[in-house]
Amino acid sequence: VRRATAEDAPFLAELRWSFRSPLGEVTEDRAAFTARCSAWMGTALGPGSRWRAWVAERGPQVVGGIWLQVIEKIPNPVVEPECHAYISNLYVMPEARGHGVGKALLDAALRDCRALHPHAVILWPTERSRSLYTRVGFAAPKDILTRPGWDDA
């Protein structure tokens, strides 16, 4: 597992397509999506960004990745962490699953999270991935309210 760089963006965009396109009604063709996503990822992995990502490699082949965004909080005059961390887009190619690659990616992101001293680390699990996260300390919070987005957006 290593930190991703902007050079990984084209392949990470392909992984994003593999992850998300089977999950809903696709509104964009693959080439258009991967071009748009690759450009976004190149910027997100470049200087000055709040995003960082890691990739897992098997030999020369990238087989998975994970993303982390640092969410700023407003400066606070008392002892309280001044950021949250948001983990997203954990994905391992189907043929590489079940051997701890996902856990290794999550551990890499959590090592950075720990160094950031965040107030909380947040993510949206799927039903199937819940156990992976609960094993490393994630739990449903009692002190947060979320509101679904608007249908007319």
Q: Which residues of this protein are in contact with ligand COA, per CB under 6 A?
A: 19, 90-92, 97-103, 125-126, 128-129, 131-132
> In this complex, which beta carbon is closest to ligand COA, that of residue 59 or of residue 75?
59
The least CB distance from residue 146 to ligand COA, in Å, is: 16
> In this complex, which beta carbon is closest to ligand COA, that of residue 57 or of residue 80?
57
Inter-residue contact 19 to 28 (CB < 8 Å): no
Inter-residue contact 45 to 11 (CB < 8 Å): no
The least CB distance from residue 45 to ligand COA, in Å, is: 19
Burial of 116 (0-12, 13-18, 19+ CB in 10 A): middle
> In this complex, which beta carbon is closest to ligand COA, that of residue 19 or of residue 51?
19
The least CB distance from residue 126 to ligand COA, in Å, is: 4
Inter-residue contact 107 to 121 (CB < 8 Å): no
Give residue number: closest CB to ligand COA. 102
Alpha carbons 152 and 146: distance in angstroms, whole number: 18
